[in-house]
Structure formats: structure tokens, C-alpha cells
């Protein structure tokens, strides 16, 4: 991409007490807000072996290997992968919780594990399986503590709290004790706590884990709204396809600590499963006989005829099928994303 640079030469006034107007350069090439280079993380375990009494036996488990990632401001990126591949470990490295074994990273211009307070004020972390709020207290008391921790001005705090309570429908919840809430209600409180200080980068580690369908949908809708309105960068790890499909235009697939794909989610599905699936409900032996005469690779699964058609063949196949069968009995769908991802990991 050609870089278009517009330079405005401003008059520099060096009068006493006035700050000089500086050169401004506008570039259409954005600086990544998160950038990592060859991040590696090994977990070393020392064990005592009675056969080697004077030596601790060390075993090394690589969790993340040579991970290069670049994320622009405002993106909502999903890290996808089965359990134990290094998604959360990577998330913890770029949020500054753990140090990498080697490699570099910059988030908002800071090295995360140096834990500069200016950096920490601009990020937020939510973990689906853990609570940061006080278990035995009303959520509002925890929010007040966070207000002081992040030095949130009173008006900003009240405005953000009111917004979150409205979007997440939490007015009746905030004064209840966390231990008496359901998992979905606790997650709503955790998300509220996460956004009180207007963070620029939010790390969400499996935020919908264990939630029912309705609550998970409302959480996803909330994340989309926040990303759109506040233009914050969201990094999401999940092994739920529902989260990724609903939220992420871009996914980064991790396997055994390595990046195996980084790009558009739809393109990923199209690349690995370019076909379309035609399903026909066959309720009589005559219909089954008609279906068997279709000249294309097909199969019968539980009373349904299934054809996996390549994109270029879909047109003429659809014509054939609609000619022979009642349209109410026909469905044409894209391949199930979960199956596609599973297929990729099996390969």
C-alpha cells in the first residue's frame, strides 16, 4: 500500500509561554496497537528423581513458539484453538502478567511485562473462569474500589457505570452479593468492571464459557457494541465457534503454540471448505429413488439426502434439485464452521 504522506508545515512560534506548533504528518498506514515479534514461552518444571539424587531433572514444555502478531487499533481479533495450545498463555504475555522466555512485544507503545502504570490504566482483562470482584460483597463495592485503583474521575465513573448497567440490564444486580449471583450475572459484573476506566485494549479470555445461549448472545452483543462505539481493541480467546463467528472478522489460529492462520474468518472457512451443502428431506421411497439418480457425489444420512457441491457446480445442481423436489424440503447451507475448524486441526 502506498503511503500517502501529507505534511503540514506549521508556523513555529517560539514566543515566551506559548508551546510551538509542531510538524504534523498524516499517514494512512496505521501503527499497530499490539505488535509481537518471535514471542516464545517455555514452562520449566523441576522434578526430583531418586535415581539422580543430587540433580533436579528439568522438563521443558513450550507453550508459545515464535508468535508474530500485529493488531491495529479498533480491531476485534479472535484467538482460536483447542485447549492447551497457548492462547491464554499468549494473552497473559501481551497483558503483562507473565514474562516471555524470548521475543519482543509492544502494546500501546509499552512493553507489557514492564507493567508501566500508564499502560495498565489503558488495558483491561476479563477471565471467563475467574472472578476479580469481591465474592462476599455487592458488585458496586468492588466497582468503587476499582474507581480508586484506576483513578477514574467521578463523572466518568458514573457515566460508564450507568451505560454498562443500561446495556447489560444490571440495575437490579449491582447491589447484590457476587456469591448469590448466577454465572451469567457474575460475568456481566466482571464486564462492567472491565470497562469502567475506558480501556483502550481489552483482553477477554473465554468470556462466555459456561453461559447459557441467551446470556452468551447478550454478552456477544455487548462486546460488539462496545467495540463499535468506543473503538477499543479487543483480543478474544475462545474455543466456542459461536463467539468467533459472531464477533471476529479476523482470527488467529494457534496450534501447539504456533500461529497456523492469521486472516479473515470467512476466507478461512471458504479456503478449507469451499463447498456448499444441499440437503433434501426424502420422505418416500420414490423420492429416494429420484435422489439416487442425481449425477453427483451424494450420501444419505438419517432420511436426508446430502450433496456437498463445489461452488462452481452449485448453480446447475440447485436447478436439478429444485426441479425434482418440493422447495420446502430443500436447504442450501454453508459448511458448519466448527466442523471446518476441527478438520483443520485434525490435518
Partner 1 sequence: MRYWKIIKIIIRNSYTRDKKIPGVVTANVFSSLFEVIITLTMFSAIFNNVESLSGWNYYQVVFLYLMMKNIVLLNGVVVRGGLNDMAKEYVRMGDYDFYLVKPVNSMLFVSVSKPRFYNIVVLMFTIPFSIWIAMKTGIDLGALNILAFIFMAFFSAILYYFLSVITIVPTFWLVRLFSLSDLMNRATQIMRYPAGIYSMLVKVIFFTAFPVLAITYLPSWTLFYSIKAEYLVYMVVITFVFGWIATKLWNIGERNYGSASS
Q: Give the interface with partner 1 as residue ranges (CB under 8 A).
A: 43, 88-89, 92, 95-99, 113, 115, 117-118, 120-121, 123-125, 127-130, 132, 134, 136-137, 141-142, 144-145, 148-151, 205-206
Q: How far apart are the first and last CA of the chain?
A: 34
| Shortest spacing between CB 229 and partner 1, in angstroms | 23
Nearer to partner 1, 89 or 160 (CB): 89
How many Cβ atoms are within 10 Å of 106's Cβ, its own excluded?
17
| Shortest spacing between CB 134 and partner 1, in angstroms | 6
Grid coordinates belonging to 270: 471458504
Nearer to partner 1, 92 or 276 (CB): 92
| Shortest spacing between CB 66 and partner 1, in angstroms | 19
Helix 183-195 / helix 139-149 crossing angle, nearest 10 deg: 20
Cα–Cα distance, 334 to 80 (Å, whole number): 20
| Shortest spacing between CB 258 and partner 1, in angstroms | 19
DSSP label of 178:
G
Nearer to partner 1, 41 or 188 (CB): 41
Q: What is the chain's alpha carbon radius of gyration, rounded to the nearest angstrom? A: 26
The three-state secondary structure class of 108 is coil
| Shortest spacing between CB 205 and partner 1, in angstroms | 6
Nearest to 81 by CA among 273, 263, 260, 216: 260
Nearer to partner 1, 134 or 272 (CB): 134
| Shortest spacing between CB 227 and partner 1, in angstroms | 19
Nearer to partner 1, 219 or 340 (CB): 219
Cα–Cα distance, 250 to 305 (Å, whole number): 34
Cα–Cα distance, 212 to 173 (Å, whole number): 18
- Cβ neighbours of residue 8 closer than 8 Å, sequence gap 6 or more: 23, 24, 25, 26
Q: Diameter of the chain by CA atoms?
A: 94
| Shortest spacing between CB 309 and partner 1, in angstroms | 41
Cβ(184)–Cβ(211) below 8 Å: yes
Nearer to partner 1, 123 or 223 (CB): 123
DSSP string, 249-262: SEEEEEETTEEEEE
Amino acid at each position: 500500500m502506498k503511503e500517502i504522506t501529507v505534511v503540514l508545515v506549521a508556523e513555529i512560534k517560539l514566543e515566551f509561554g506559548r508551546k510551538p506548533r509542531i510538524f504534523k504528518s498524516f499517514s494512512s498506514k496505521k501503527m499497530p496497537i499490539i505488535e509481537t515479534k518471535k514471542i516464545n514461552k517455555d514452562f520449566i518444571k523441576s522434578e526430583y528423581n531418586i535415581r539422580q539424587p543430587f540433580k533436579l531433572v528439568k522438563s521443558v514444555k513450550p507453550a508459545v513458539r515464535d508468535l508474530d502478531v500485529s493488531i491495529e487499533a479498533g480491531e476485534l481479533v479472535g484467538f482460536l484453538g483447542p485447549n492447551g495450545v497457548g492462547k491464554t498463555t499468549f494473552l497473559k504475555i501481551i497483558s503483562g502478567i507473565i514474562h516471555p522466555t524470548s521475543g519482543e512485544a509492544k502494546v500501546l507503545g509499552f512493553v507489557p511485562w514492564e507493567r508501566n502504570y500508564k499502560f495498565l490504566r489503558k488495558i483491561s482483562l476479563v477471565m471467563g473462569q475467574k472472578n476479580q470482584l469481591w465474592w462476599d460483597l455487592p458488585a458496586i463495592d468492588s466497582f468503587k474500589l476499582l474507581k480508586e485503583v484506576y483513578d477514574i474521575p467521578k463523572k466518568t465513573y458514573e457515566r460508564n457505570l450507568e451505560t454498562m448497567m443500561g446495556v447489560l440490564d444490571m440495575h437490579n444486580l449491582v447491589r447484590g452479593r457476587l456469591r448469590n449471583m448466577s454465572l451469567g450475572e457474575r460475568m456481566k459484573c466482571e464486564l462492567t468492571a472491565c470497562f469502567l476506566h475506558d480501556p483502550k485494549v481489552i483482553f477477554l479470555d473465554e468470556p462466555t464459557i459456561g453461559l447459557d445461549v441467551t446470556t452468551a448472545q447478550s454478552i456477544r452483543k455487548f462486546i460488539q457494541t462496545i467495540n463499535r462505539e468506543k473503538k477499543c481493541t479487543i483480543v478474544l480467546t475462545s474455543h466456542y465457534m459461536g463467539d468467533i463467528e459472531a464477533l471476529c472478522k479476523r482470527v488467529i489460529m494457534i496450534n501447539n503454540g504456533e500461529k497456523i492462520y492469521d486472516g479473515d474468518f470467512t476466507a478461512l472457512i471458504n479456503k478449507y471448505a469451499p463447498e456448499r451443502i444441499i440437503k433434501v428431506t426424502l420422505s418416500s421411497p420414490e423420492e429416494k429413488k429420484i435422489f439416487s439418480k442425481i449425477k453427483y457425489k451424494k450420501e444419505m444420512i438419517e432420511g436426508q439426502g446430502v450433496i456437498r457441491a463445489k461452488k462452481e457446480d452449485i448453480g446447475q445442481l440447485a436447478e436439478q434439485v429444485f426441479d425434482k423436489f418440493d422447495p420446502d424440503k430443500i436447504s442450501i447451507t454453508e459448511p458448519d464452521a466448527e466442523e471446518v475448524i476441527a478438520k483443520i486441526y485434525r490435518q
